[in-house]
Amino acid sequence: MPKFLVLYKWTLDEQDIKIKSDDLSLDASRAKGKISDFDRNAIEEAARIVEAKGGSVDVLTYGSAAVKQSLKDVLSRGADKAYWIADASAETADAVVTAKVLAAAIRKIGPYDVILTGEGSSDQFNQQTAPRVAALLGLPCLSLVHKLDVEAGTVSVTRKLAVCTEQATVSGPVVVSVLSDINKPRIPGLKQVLGAAKKPNEEIALGSLGVSPADLQPKAVRRSAKGFVMTRKNVVFKDANPADSVAKLVSSLVSEGLF
Amino acid sequence: MSDDKFDAIVVGAGPAGSACAYTLAKEGRSVLLLERGNSAGAKNVSGGRLYTYALELVEPGLYERAPLQRKIVREQVMLLNERGATTVDYFDPSFGADVPQSYSVIRADLDEWFAGEAEAQGAMVAPGILVDDLIEEGGRIVGIRTGDDEMRADVVVAADGVNSLLGQKAGLFPDAKPQAVGVGVKETIELPDDVISARFGVKDDEGAARVAIGCTEGISGGGFLYTNKSSLSLGIVFNPQQAGRQQRHIQDIFQDFKMHPAIQALIDGGTSIEYGAHLVPEIGFHGVPKQLSREGLVVVGDAAQFGINTGVIIRGMDLAIVSGLAAARAIVAAKQPADVGALYRQQLEELLLIANQKAYQNFHGIFDIPRIFREYPNLANDAMRFLFRVDGKTPKPMLKGLLETVKRNVSFGRLAADGWKLYRHL
Amino acid sequence: MTGIFLFSEDPVLAKQLLTPALALKGALDQPITALALDGATAADLAALGADTVLLLQSASGWVEGLGDAVTDLVRAATVVLVGGTQRGKHLAAHVAAKLDAGLTTDAKSLAIEDGKLVTSRILYAGLAVGVEELAFPAVATIPPRSYPTPEAAQTPGSVETVAVTDDIRVTVTGTTPTESSGVDISLANKLVSVGRGFRSKDDLPLAEGLAAKLKGEVSCTRGIAEDEYWLPIERYIGISGQTVKPDLYLAVGLSGQVQHMVGARESKIIVAINSDERAPIFEAADYGIVGDLYAVLPLLTAAITS
Ligand SMILES: Cc1cc2nc3c(=O)[nH]c(=O)nc-3n(C[C@H](O)[C@H](O)[C@H](O)COP(=O)(O)OP(=O)(O)OC[C@H]3O[C@@H](n4cnc5c(N)ncnc54)[C@H](O)[C@@H]3O)c2cc1C
Ligand SMILES: Cc1cc2nc3c(=O)[nH]c(=O)nc-3n(C[C@H](O)[C@H](O)[C@H](O)COP(=O)(O)OP(=O)(O)OC[C@H]3O[C@@H](n4cnc5c(N)ncnc54)[C@H](O)[C@@H]3O)c2cc1C
Ligand SMILES: Nc1ncnc2c1ncn2[C@@H]1O[C@H](COP(=O)(O)O)[C@@H](O)[C@H]1O
């Protein structure tokens, strides 16, 4: 019976991040946290397989003190147990640091048959963590998976790439990143939300992982992050009669020399 | 605390629900607080002036922990016509003394905070849960349904807001009658703290609350403007039926209001960070259903149509909190669920909520005078214009001029009739 | 020896990578080593300015499985550039991990500043642009069509073949090429882009008719391709899809979420047709019509001939 570990990231909801008009800096003061969108698909996939065939789903996250807020949510989505690493280093962590910390934690709490991640995190969308963690743990990695089967220690997947779809199999432990179209994540019901309160969660002290201070120094250091502002003409036609709007639009496009 | 039955299930984490859950949990009752939004406050649209006394009733000093914006020391009334605005500004520092009378608040923050306080007291808070039915057995309400899940409790508290689904399911009242509810739209406009303080002539922790009449194109209703720390809550509340008859879109009326030179000057340079529309209980006590409970169910806050809208005062949050508190006290005092209803009534009386509502009960009658929303604001501005205009010509005799001004707007017969009506309603 | 290394399994992209590689060579004064999977590409890369080309002899040719092999070949690298295809990004992440190196995904710009690789890239799905500095060795993936193919070099480089070991733990049991409509939307200079505002696949002709009149193509949002399967994946635009820069981008019945717009916002003119005047697309558009696409599209299509 497969033991799953799903890696999930607690990210800021980008919809609440405002761009300051004066210096284009980002204002995340009103931004709420959320489970990175595609990680919900990863959790859902593990939960469905376990509900059908048995097994277990643990989840693991590394973030700032705020990750504690994610526990109730993640445990209501089908996870059995949540491990969390809360450390300020996460604020500046790049994919190098993140993968090292996660790999170290997995060595401690593992082994697992299948380690799942999302295709990419909603904030960074590095698409690096799955291959990196696999490389550090010496496991094979199957990315961009939109169909997953686990049968007697053999993992069979269909990967969806722009150029082709690809079937692949691995026997033994593997790291898998899933696409958002692999499933529709459940919306937790009351019983699941209440049940979450009774499920176990365990904090892992970063200090207990034998990760050196040097390992916590990012190799990719953020210099700046500026809001992207598009200056567009924003001419909007809303005549009661659409034909009038269309006429105005066409003449505008003509004057733009488009036809 | 068992998870398959609670002493009370509170549906809706608005001010009413959180106040109720907070009090029940504090009294050691097992409470489940359900909210359909992904977090408390996520789904709420509201102006944001909270009268502090309500939080003081729940627990003295509680307001000091709340995320409050500015204490209101300037009460302003604005009479608008297309050309200009006549503003009455009442400044009263005592409104800001010791326990300030009222604060501007941002609802999303307030609701999240209040639900958090309830949780800290031991209430089980479950967001993202839409309650879609009640469980009824032998004529008693014994729990709620959400999706495929059921949950039981001795008492269900319907704090689910204006046109309450649960109240309807329980058959307590037909769904909100169009004339009984107003529709409100609100926009939050961001501006630097110091700009706001300067524009409204207040210190940095002080604020102004302004209502505007004459901004709804003759449609029964009014506008409001509250100063938050670094944003303004600007909105209008009005009668959707009349608007419908005049084929006017909420957004358009609101846009025109925003564009009025007197309002523009106040919001100029700001960036809109939030916009929403919502219903409001409009007609005060007359709207409150005769029956506020059934065995196993009590209705609180907007769900019970508690609301006072005098045109110069919009109140709902405080009444919601007080009614939530009343329900909680009733549930605590009750020997068995059957007693809750009567005790709730009694608490409402003791907490003066009914009295409050009655005091204003006929106020809405004034809104039947259509001229309130166009002719009279116009009259006020014309009169001002007459008084202050200097163009070098020989001015008309004062009285004659004023009388003409009045005539231009309303016939004396109407004026007398309206005056009488006003007198009667007050 | 230190150096600049580059790899892409996509021959066209591999050649494009030479352009930034040559710039880096100028800045770092280090040789360029290109890795290739086939002889023809190897020869091209040598001709276009790679000092050395290593022709990898991979049995399986499964790019994602070449991580360890490539790592061994690029150990000495100062900078490694990898073509930002899906396979390329997977490979790059593995190599970066093995090199204990930072990796910028989909770098929009590259520069050398005081001994560091300075890159810019998109954050928060397009809401912001982040600048980061990477210590050497540094890895970056470069999206297709970011750079032109360079001119032929005066002195072509040399080609060596190297045997490499694949990741035998993974067995690829089958591949089915996505039936390509033969359309590359990134080349179209007019696009009609459809979103969830379309009620059914049967309504797509509305957009196709307009696209035909405009001599353009039809593109879409992610949901239309990935959830509804109304259009091939290669047609969807955005952070996890294609990036396009047409003269005219006509967004129909799509809300204009940043994850989508990031792929289209470099278009010359953006036009929005949406029934909800508060849809974010209108802020991202030069011209917009607030209205029902089912009413507007036929009128617009008709208006364009006349
Ligand atoms: C534009 C506007 C301006 C206003 N300005 C003011 C003001 O300045 N001062 C003032 O005191 N009052 C004001 N009010 C009135 C005030 O907002 C309300 O009276 C107050 O919010 C009532 O609180 P409540 O808890 O009863 O209901 P609500 O605040 O409406 O809370 C109800 C909650 O229940 C949840 N819910 C509903 N149905 C379900 C369900 N089936 N399952 C689960 N959850 C559910 C909702 O999501 C919501 O969170 C204003 C209202 C509007 C619209
Ligand atoms: C990490 C991540 C990556 C993502 N990557 C991508 C990506 O690469 N590409 C992408 O496209 N999305 C991506 N998404 C999804 C993206 O966030 C949006 O959800 C998606 O783009 C919305 O698609 P849509 O506009 O078609 O649908 P909606 O957002 O539902 O918009 C439909 C619009 O149609 C309008 N409409 C409805 N009916 C009519 C009518 N009759 N006439 C006119 N207008 C009408 C509505 O007003 C609405 O604005 C990503 C999301 C995440 C979290
Ligand atoms: N800090 C983190 N903690 C746990 N999982 C993470 C973290 N960061 C990334 N992941 C996982 O790695 C996936 C890809 O992230 P990224 O490489 O940042 O695009 C995410 O979808 C998560 O599943």
Of A21, A32, A190, the CB nearest to B149: A190
Q: What angle do CA C17, C20, C26 make, to 5 degrees?
A: 135
- How close does chain C come to A34, measured CA to CA in Å? 13
CA distances (Å), origin C240, targets A19, B421, C226: 23, 66, 11
Determine the residue of B20, B302, B312 to mutate for testing ligand 1's pocket, defined as the one with the most ligand atoms within 8 A of the Cβ atom: B302
How many CA atoms lie within 13 Å of C229's alpha carbon, on the beta-carbon side? 4
Residue-wise DSSP of B197-211 = HHHHT--TTEEEEEE
8 A C-beta contact, residue A113 and residue A3? yes
Q: How far is B129 from chain A (nearest CA, A)?
A: 6
Q: Which two tokens stand for residue B119?
A: 């949780």
> Using CB atoms, which chains have 3+ pairs under 8 A with B?
A
- Contact between residue B48 and residue B69 where contact means Cβ atoms under 8 Å apart: yes
Whether residue A191 and residue B149 make contact (CB cut-off 8 A), yes or no, is yes
pLDDT band at C1 (very low <50, low <70, confident <90, very high): very low
Residue B302 DSSP one-character state: G
User: Does residue B169's CB lie within 6 angstroms of at least one atom of ligand 1?
Assistant: no
- Closest approach of A194 to chain C, Cα-based (Å): 31
Ligand 3 pocket test, candidate residues A4, A5, A6, A7, most atoms within 8 A of CB: A7
ipTM above 0.90, yes or no: no
Sheet holding A56-63, edge to edge: A201-203, A81-86, A56-63, A3-7, A114-118, A174-178, A141-151, A154-160, A164-171, C170-177
B122-135: average pLDDT: 95
Please give the average per-residue pLDDT across B173-177, as a whole number.
59
Q: Hey, what's the torsion of the CAs at A73, A76, A79, A83, to 10 degrees?
A: 40
pLDDT band for position A124 (50/70/90)? Answer: very high
Name subunits touching C (3+ CB pairs < 8 A).
Answer: A
- d(C-alpha B25, C-alpha B115), whole Å: 12
pLDDT for the residue B177: 58
Q: Is the pLDDT of residue B213 over 90?
A: no
- Model pTM score: 0.86
Token couple for B425: 């309603």
**CB under 8 Å to B419, separation ≥6 — which residues?**
none
Note whether A162 contacts C234, CB cutoff 8 Å.
Answer: yes
The structure tokens 């959707």 sit at B240
DSSP B59: S
Residue with tokens 């904030």: A123
Give yes or no for residue A130 having a pLDDT over 60: yes
Checking DSSP bridges between strand A154-160 and strand A164-171, what pairing results, if any?
Answer: antiparallel
H or E, element range at A76: none
pLDDT, tens digit, 9 for 90 and up, residues B298-316: 999 999 988 777 666 778 9
Q: Tokens standing for B265?
A: 């000057």
Distance CA A220, CA A218 (A): 5
Rounded-to-integer distance, Cα C270 and Cα B284, Å: 49
**Cα–Cα distance measured from residue C259 to residue C237, given in angstroms and rounded to the nearest whole number:** 9
Rounded to an integer, the average pLDDT of B18-26 is 98
Find the angle CA(B314)-CA(B317)-CA(B323) to the nearest 5 degrees: 120
Query: Angle at Cα C68 formed by Cα C66 and Cα C74, nearest 5°?
Result: 95
Give A-chain residues touching B273 at CB under 8 angstroms.
Answer: 18
The distance of A58 to chain B (nearest Cα, Å) reads: 22
> Which of C204, C257, C277 to probe ligand 2 with, by most ligand atoms within 8 A of CB?
C257
Q: What is the Cα B290 distance to its own chain's centre?
A: 21
Give the DSSP letter string of chain C.
--EEEEE-SSHHHHHHHHHHHHHHHHHH---EEEEESSHHHHHHHHHTT-SEEEEEE-SS--GGGGHHHHHHHHTTEEEEEEE-SHHHHHHHHHHHHHHT-EEETT-SEEEEETTEEEEEEEEGGGTEEEEEEEESSEEEEE-TTSSPPPPPPSS--EEEEEE----TTEEEEEEEE----S--TTT-SEEEEE-TTS--GGGHHHHHHHHHHHT-EEEE-HIIIIIS-SS-GGGBBSTTSB----SEEEEES----HHHHTTTTT-SEEEEEES-TT-GGGTT-SEEEES-HHHHHHHHHHHHH-
> Has residue C163 got a pLDDT over 60?
yes
pLDDT on residue B376: 78
Inform me whether the pLDDT recorded for B1 exceeds 50.
no
* Residue whose token pair is 């969390």: A84
Place B43 in a pLDDT band, splitting at 50, 70 and 90. Answer: low
**So what's the pLDDT on residue B250?**
76
Percent helix, strand, coil in chain A, to 5, is 35, 30, 35
Q: Could you tell me the strand order of the sheet in which A220-227 lies?
A: A220-227, C128-135, C116-123, C109-113
Question: Percent of chain A scored above 70 by pLDDT?
Answer: 100
SS3 B158: strand
Rounded to an integer, what distance in angstroms lies between the CA atom of residue B79 and that of residue B201? 19
Say yes or no to pLDDT of C256 above 80.
yes
Set of chain A residues whose Cβ sits within 8 Å of the Cβ of C304: 250, 259
Would the CB of B49 count as within 6 Å of ligand 1?
yes
B98: pLDDT confidence band, cut at 50, 70 and 90? confident
Q: List Cα–Cα distances, C159 to A208, C47, C57, C70, in angstroms.
A: 49, 10, 13, 16
> B243-263 burial, b if ≥16 CB within 10 A, otherwise e?
beeeebeeeebbebbbebeeb
Phi–psi pair at C82, nearest 5 degrees: -125, 140
Q: Which atom of ligand 1 is nearest to the CA of B276?
A: 1
Tokens 């290669």, residue? C234
B253-303: pLDDT as tens digits: 888 888 899 999 999 988 888 888 887 776 555 567 778 999 999 999 999
SS3 assignment, position B85: strand
**Residue B66 CB neighbour total at 10 angstroms:** 16
Number of helices (H), then strands (E), belonging to chain A: the values are 6, 15
How far is B285 from B306, CA to CA, in rounded Å?
7
Tell me, in angstroms, the distance from the centre of ligand 1 to residue A10's CA.
Answer: 30
Q: Which two tokens stand for residue C269?
A: 């003119």
Q: Which of B126, B271, B273 sits opposite A190 (nearest CB)?
A: B126
Contact criterion met (CB < 8 Å) for B124 and A197: yes
B contact test, residue of A15, A40, A190 with most B CBs within 10 A: A190
Q: What is the pLDDT of residues C94-133, one digit of tens each?
A: 999 999 999 999 999 999 999 999 999 999 988 899 999 9
The pLDDT-based confidence of B178 (bands split at 50, 70, 90) is low
**What ligand has the least distance to the C-alpha of C294?**
2
Please give the structure tokens belonging to residue B180. 């009984």
**What's the rounded mean pLDDT across residues C77-95?**
98
Dihedral angle of Cα B37, A66, A100, C87, to the nearest 10 degrees: 30
The predicted pLDDT at position B360 comes to 67
Q: Which atom of ligand 1 sits closest to the CA of residue B131?
A: 42
Ligand 1 mean position to B131 CA, how many Å? 16
CB A146 within 8 Å of CB A162? no
pLDDT at residue C117 in the model: 98
Residue B77 and residue C245: Cα distance in Å, rounded? Answer: 53
pLDDT, tens only, A5-52: 999 999 999 888 988 878 899 999 888 899 999 999 999 999 999 999
Confidence of residue B357 (pLDDT cuts 50, 70, 90): low
Is pLDDT above 90 for B14? yes
Find the residues whose C-beta lies inside 6 A of ligand 3.
A 7-9, 36, 38-39, 42, 61-63, 95, 98, 102, 117-118, 120-121, 124-129
Chain segment C4-52, per-residue pLDDT in tens: 999 999 999 999 999 999 999 999 999 999 999 999 999 999 999 999 9
